[in-house]
Amino acid sequence: MSKEFLYTEIADGIAAQIKSGVLKAGDKLPSVRMLCSEHQVSMNTAKRVFLELESQSLVESKPQSGYFVSQLLSLKLPLSAVSRPSLMANNDEPDELISRVYENMGKKDITFFSIGIPSGDLLPQAKLKKEIVHAIRELKDGGTEYEELQGNLKLRRMIAVRSLQWGGNLNENDLITTNGGMNALSFCLMALGKPGDTIAIESPCYPGILQLANGLGLKVLELPTHPTTGIEIDVLKKLMPKIDLCLLIPNFNSPLGSCMPDENKKEVVRILSENNIPLIEDDVYGDLYFGSTRPKCCKSFDKDGSVLYCSSISKTLAPGYRVGWIAPGKYKDKILKLKLLHSTSSISIVNEAVANFLKSGRYEKHLQQLRKTLQSNYQNYVQTIAEYFPEGTKTSRPQGGLSLWVEFDKKIRTTELYDLSIKQNISIAPGRMFTFQEQFENCMRLCIGLPWSEETQAKLRQVGNLAKRI
């Protein structure tokens, strides 16, 4: 039996006992050494078992004490519902609502549960400052010259090296740097779509993607989406004749936090490729996994260059640096022409600094800590929601990323909840922001990227109390 199968088999067995109630919340689990002895496996395999169970929020570790069945299980928050959007293309943009939520961005006296980025307190700001200074000294003419059109070579090499983690097997010539993730998506949509074309996306979907598609004159077709496993593939198959292109966030998408299983990713790539429909893959959250291994990408299964892989450091390292990239496959020439037309060059000093940070190994160390913090935050959020939010509240169960989707009773409208919350200097993201249709009025997205503290908990508790008032 392979080591991979062993670790998943053992984890599945313990998970089944927890879910069936044989093991109850608070029960102590066997130690790593006991698991090694009982199943005749290595220490690394035993550790992977517990990492996998932690990623599912089934167990929690306590320093000097070992692993225990998570107390969260006793809370039994129901899972958010599968979305059921109309399968007609629709462009009823919630522009006014989006503007209201984002107009306060940057104000220091507001607690932003609405903005899906990690707090600056969770980022290695001092180390990044040193890299900027180093880049200015290292670059010819202090970084005042244009880079080559494809982007900083060192950065592209480091991104290519990191792609091995998810089976990308990219090289530096496969990549083009951009000014952030949205710039990457914008280039892809401009290269592949024309006004009147129909683009298929998840529902709910990140508002920036909705606005971008609408601004380019594309018709948006929202797909039914499961809060854990992503889009429903059978529906996608039926809609092939209506679709011109597709844009998905398969790994820990915003706002649901869903992660498509590898077999689903492979099938989506196959279906779209057979129908000559390009897939734009947004993987900005892929490095923020809670489990033991990084999930694969749709690009991992791309055989003919029809997947345009986009990502950035905006959700993991430095939102304000605006460093992103595309692996555009067979559409490389189109993307290069657009970059030449719209930006000519990326920001050389910043790209050099990020490249050095990745090369030094500091990025991976930072990610390890950030992932732990986000997973702990998720558990704290759920604990608080279960205790202080209205009865019947449902949540998604992300296994990574920055988002938690909250679903209330139909009587509670989150646009009204936003109005009440902002008066208390608390910003939430109402569910209507994430769709072009009349749905998700009773839902909201919470960002879990804030440092957890008594103040953060008090603010979250306040949102729950306001929802009860409604």
Q: What DSSP string describes 315-348? A: TTT-GGG--EEEE-GGGHHHHHHHHHHHTSS--H
Instruction: List the one residue out of 6, 20, 31 whose CA is nearest residue 58.
Output: 20
Q: What is the pLDDT of residues 200-209, one digit of tens each?
A: 999 999 999 9
Burial of 390 (0-12, 13-18, 19+ CB in 10 A): middle
- Rounded to whole angstroms, the Cα distance separating 331 from 328 reads 5
Task: Flag whether the pTM goes above 0.75.
Answer: yes
- pLDDT over threshold 60, residue 73: no
Does 278 share its domain with 133?
yes
**pLDDT digit string (tens) for 239-283?**
999 999 999 999 999 999 999 999 999 999 999 999 999 999 999
Burial of 22 (0-12, 13-18, 19+ CB in 10 A): exposed
The answer to the question of residue 161 being in a domain is: yes
Same domain for 389 and 304, yes or no, is no
Q: Is residue 186 situated within a structural domain?
A: yes
Q: How many whole angstroms separate alpha carbon 23 and alpha carbon 17?
A: 6
Rounded to 10 degrees, what is the CA torsion of 330, 273, 324, 436?
130
Asked if residue 76 belongs to a domain, the reply is no
pLDDT digits (tens, 9 = 90+) for 140-157: 888 898 999 999 999 999
Same domain, 333 and 278: yes
Torsion (CA) 369, 401, 411, 392 in degrees, nearest 10: -60
Residue 89: inside a domain, yes or no?
A: no
90 found inside a domain: no
Across all residues in the chain, what is the average pLDDT? 92
Query: Is 425 found in the same domain as 320?
Result: no
Quick one: 224 and 166 in the same domain? yes
195 is a domain residue: yes
Q: Tell me which of 296, 331, 363 is where a domain ends.
A: 363
Same domain (yes/no): 316, 385:
no
pLDDT of 389 > 80? The answer is yes
Is pLDDT larger for residue 3 or for residue 188?
Answer: 188
- Nearest to 198, CA basis, from 246, 230, 233: 246
Of 342, 363, 384, the residue at which a domain comes to its end is: 363
40 and 189 housed in the same domain: no
Identify whether residues 278 and 398 lie together within a single domain: no
Containing structural domain, residue 333: 125-363
Give the model's confidence band at 84: pLDDT under 50 very low, under 70 low, under 90 confident, else very high: very high
Q: Is the pLDDT of residue 76 over 90?
A: no
pLDDT over threshold 50, residue 199: yes
Claim to verify: residue 145 and residue 167 sit in the same structural domain: yes
**Do residues 317 and 413 both lie within one domain?**
no
Q: Is residue 156 part of a domain?
A: yes
Q: Which of 331, 363, 395 is the last residue of a domain?
A: 363
Average pLDDT (79-98) is: 88
Residue pair 306/332 in contact (Cβ under 8 Å)? The answer is no
The pLDDT of residue 55 is 67
**C-alpha distances out from residue 203 to 111, 209, 221, Å:** 26, 11, 9
Residue 350 has pLDDT above 80, yes or no: yes
The region, left, alpha or beta by phi > 0 then psi within -120 to 50, assigned to residue 451 is beta
Task: Tell me, yes or no, whether 77 lies in a domain.
Answer: no
pLDDT given at position 262: 92
Same domain, 252 and 308: yes
Please count the structural domains in the chain. Answer: 3
Instruction: Say whether both 350 and 462 belong to one domain.
Output: no
Assign 19 a pLDDT band (cuts: 50, 70, 90): confident
